[in-house]
Structure 1
Amino acid sequence: MEYKEMANSLSYGEEYNFYYNGEEYWMSRNDDGNYLTTVSSEETQEFKTATDLLEKARIGDKTILNIWEEIKDQF
């Protein structure tokens, strides 16, 4: 899947989990917002929109786009 396709489907409510550097992450959504959760610690970053999640969520100091080449095969 291409990044743009994933971003578009995320904005329509699709949810994804993926692994990066030995951690599992979950991108999810409900009526209140969009979330990036680190599964092991249950630490959650909250955003109003899927676009905000993709632009502002951080794994370390990187965005989803910054790590896309490393995780894209999981989508």
Structure 2
Amino acid sequence: MTEKEYLEFKNLISMGDELNFYYKNDEYWISHIQDKSFLSRTKDSYTQEFCGHKELFEHATIESKKISEVYPELRQLK
């Protein structure tokens, strides 16, 4: 994912979109319920819960790294 694609991805999430993406060979899903946002790994349903999308992008981790650190390796299906 390029920086431009990552910024667009973050913008879509901030508007309430629920999107999936891949990191290495694992699928992840960002979803929302009321004022909560979630990052889930599909294969085992491991889920991290946050108080909104801003907190998700500040604190969510994939393999102990923040999303902002691994976004170049993220793939999103079009």
TM-score by length of 1: 0.86
Task: Choose the corresponding residue for 2:58, options 55, 58, 66.
Answer: 55
More strand by share: 2
- Aligned residue in 2 for 1:66: 69
Kindly state the Cα deviation for residue 3 of structure 1 after the two structures are TM-superposed.
Answer: 2.0
Distance across 2 between alignment mates of 1:4 and 1:21: 20
What is the aligned-residue RMSD (CA, Å)? 1.5
CA contact 1:7–1:51 (8 Å) conserved in 2: no
- What's the TM-score once normalised by structure 2's chain length? 0.83
1:14-48 Cα shifts (integer Å, max 9, x gaps): 11111112111001111140000011111110001
The 3-state SS of whatever aligns with 2:65 is coil
1:36 pairs with 2:39: yes
